[in-house]
Amino acid sequence: MGWVPDNIVEALRQSNMLGIYLRLDIDPPLRICVGVNDIPIGFESIDPEGAVYLGAGRLANIPDLEVLINGVADRVEFVLSGIDPEEADRLDIEEWSQAIRGAAMHVGFTTLDDYYQPMSKIIPLWTGTGSFIVESMPAVKGHETPTVTLALSASSGKATRSRNTQILWSGAQQRAMHPGDAFCDGTARLARGVAPAWPRY
């Protein structure tokens, strides 16, 4: 048995019925799953006694988790659409964004049996860090019912802010914090792919 149990691997060979689960480590934790039913299940290492994951309908724009697993620290968005505006008005987006910033996020999956029940505990697939929530209301035509869309932005690395993180720490920046420290003097050459000659002591 490896990371994915043998019976789940066998089920994946025969079916594509998956349960996808998302857990956000706020207080209390936000636990949602793809589908319309609430599912009593849990991550084995995080919810040892189990928990109830709330059915959130169809989770749109699921990011390419294969890229995230390969180590690219990218920003991704998990989108829930079709929310009733009156329900959305009850949410304090600013308060939620503050709670979400820096919170650990876990995404996992398991296969479903013929009765759409999970065949195992949630198998962890991706770990990220929550950043912020974006609320929008798509334009409607004629007699269409207006709905609200919520997008939860997260990162697979440490880029939790809405702008890019610092990728180059220059010698001037280092000396501003630590006068006389020349440790970062070669970073510009290193960023261009030049291997600097390191001093020998």
The whole-model pTM stands at 0.68
Q: Are 83 and 102 part of one and the same domain?
A: yes
- Same domain flag for 72 and 109: yes
pLDDT at 195 over 80: no
Element (DSSP H or E) covering residue 69: helix 65-69
pLDDT at 88: 80
Predicted local distance difference test score (pLDDT) of residue 3: 76
The pLDDT score that the predictor gives to residue 65 is 56
128 shares its domain with 200:
no
pLDDT tens for each residue of 26-45: 988 989 888 888 889 988 77
**1, 83, 134, 162, 197 from 96: Cα distances, Å:** 39, 16, 10, 16, 49
Q: 104 and 147: one domain? A: yes
Which pLDDT score, from 0 to 100, does residue 194 have? 67
Residue 1 belongs to a domain = no
Full 3-state SS string of 73-86: CCEEEEEEEEECHH
Residue 199 and residue 110 in one domain: no
Number of domains composing the chain: 2
59 vs 19, 20, 149, 199, CA distance in Å? 11, 9, 11, 53
Residue 81's φ and ψ, nearest 5 degrees, are: -125, 170
Residue 110 contacts residue 19 (beta carbons within 8 Å): yes
Regarding whether 171 and 119 lie in a shared domain, the answer is no
The string of pLDDT tens digits covering residues 52-106 is 998 887 665 666 654 454 455 567 788 888 888 888 888 787 888 888 888 998 8
Same domain, 40 and 110: yes
Same-domain check for residues 141 and 194: no
**51-55 and 30-33 strand pairing:** parallel
pLDDT at 25: 92
- Whole-number pLDDT of residue 70: 47
> pLDDT at position 23, please?
92
Domain that holds residue 100: 6-155
| pLDDT tens figures, 4-29 | 888 888 888 888 788 889 999 998 89
pLDDT in tens, 116-172: 889 988 988 888 888 888 888 888 888 888 888 888 888 875 555 554 444 456 677
Looking only at the bridges linking them, the beta strands covering 75-83 and 51-55 are unpaired
Does residue 161 fall inside a structural domain? no
Residues 73 and 171 reside in one and the same domain: no
